[in-house]
């Protein structure tokens, strides 16, 4: 049933998808959210007002995908997980295979995200450019076991092109990570520019950066879309 629903979501018109997803898949999709031609094979999806999943994404194996108001997954991203039913990580019993995006958080183009444990984007956090990887699972070679740990991007942080974020790492609020960097630990100092392999603090950033103060709005739905949303819920 899940596979059939995912295939239908590939071919249905965009205007029909929110209502179909609510009624037949049990997803919590705002009538103003938009879903492109992406393959979405997950347990549950919730999308707030104006949230967008673009075309040519593959999202599979997760128990949950949650996009807040205005959050965006652009295009050509591969987001996957080892399902909870797969007993791959017996030493990580509390893992959750989910992607959680706060309001106006963004994933741009051609990134690879492993959500075997939780990946969280706090409000306005962004994975920008293209070609970055987020890995929530890793091999513990000392104890010879596979483990999984969450990865968190703090509020209004930005990770640039070609970065790698390893299992259990974090990017603090308002931090910017330079292109090509590798994050191997939980970075802690906010409003700092990080760079390198492994990424280290380079300098503090001024509060006047426009990135820290941008305000985004969700467009008001047209009357036609509002009528459709009420009739298809």
The pLDDT of residue 55: 96
User: Would residue 124 be called left, alpha or beta, if left means φ above 0 and alpha means ψ between -120 and 50 degrees?
Assistant: left
pTM equals 0.89
Could you tell me the CA-to-CA distances from 152 to 69, 99, 126, 190 in Å, in that order? 18, 10, 11, 13
Q: Is the pLDDT of residue 229 over 80?
A: no
Q: Which of 158-162, 174-178, 211-215 has the lowest mean pLDDT?
A: 211-215
As a whole number, the mean pLDDT across the chain is 90
Alpha helices in the chain (DSSP H): 2-11, 17-20, 210-213, 223-232
Q: Is the pLDDT of residue 233 over 50?
A: no
Q: Work out the percent of the chain whose per-residue pLDDT is above 90.
A: 70
β 119-121/98-101 pair status: parallel
Q: Is the pLDDT of residue 231 over 50?
A: no
pLDDT per residue as tens digits for the range 34-77: 999 999 999 999 999 999 999 999 999 999 999 999 999 999 99
**Greater confidence, 141 or 134?**
134
Q: Is the pLDDT of residue 32 over 90?
A: yes
Task: Provide DSSP, 7-52.
Answer: HHHHHS-TTTHHHHIIIII--EE-TT-EE-S-EEE-SEEEE-TT-E
Alpha helices in 65-214 (DSSP H): 210-213
The DSSP call for residue 225 is H
Average pLDDT over residues 95-118: 96
The pLDDT of residue 109: 97
DSSP reduced 3-state for 119 = strand
The pLDDT of residue 85: 66
Q: In angstroms, rounded to a whole number, what is the distance separating the alpha carbons of residues 138 and 203? A: 30
Confidence label for 223 from pLDDT (cuts 50, 70 and 90) = very low
Q: In angstroms, rounded to a whole number, what is the distance separating the alpha carbons of residues 34 and 12? A: 12
Average pLDDT over residues 18-25: 90
Q: In angstroms, rounded to a whole number, what is the distance separating the alpha carbons of residues 57 and 34? A: 13
Walk me through the domains of the chain, giving residue ranges and CATH numbers.
2-206 (2.160.10.10)
- Main-chain phi, psi angles of 183, to 5 degrees: -100, 120
């Amino acid at each position: 049933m899940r596979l059939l629903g995912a295939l239908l979501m590939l071919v249905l018109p965009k205007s029909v998808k929110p209502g179909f997803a609510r009624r037949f898949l049990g997803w919590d999709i705002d009538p103003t959210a938009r879903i492109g031609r992406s393959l979405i094979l997950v347990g549950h999806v919730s999308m707030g007002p104006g949230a967008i999943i673009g075309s040519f994404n593959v999202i599979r194996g997760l128990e949950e995908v949650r996009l807040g108001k205005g959050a965006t997954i652009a295009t050509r991203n591969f987001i996957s997980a080892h399902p909870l039913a797969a007993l791959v990580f017996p030493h990580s019993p509390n893992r959750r295979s989910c992607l959680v995006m706060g309001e106006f958080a963004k994933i741009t183009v051609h990134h690879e995200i492993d959500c075997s444990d939780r990946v969280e984007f706090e409000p306005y956090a962004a994975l920008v450019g293209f070609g970055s990887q987020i890995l929530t699972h890793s091999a513990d070679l000392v104890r010879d076991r596979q483990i999984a740990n969450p990865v968190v991007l703090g509020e209004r942080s930005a990770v640039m092109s070609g970065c790698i974020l390893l299992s259990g790492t974090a990017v603090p609020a308002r931090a910017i990570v330079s292109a090509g960097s590798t994050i191997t630990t939980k970075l802690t100092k906010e409003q700092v520019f990080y760079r390198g392999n492994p990424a280290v603090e380079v300098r503090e950033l001024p509060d006047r950066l426009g990135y820290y103060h941008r305000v985004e709005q969700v467009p008001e739905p047209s009357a036609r879309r509002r009528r459709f949303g009420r009739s298809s819920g």
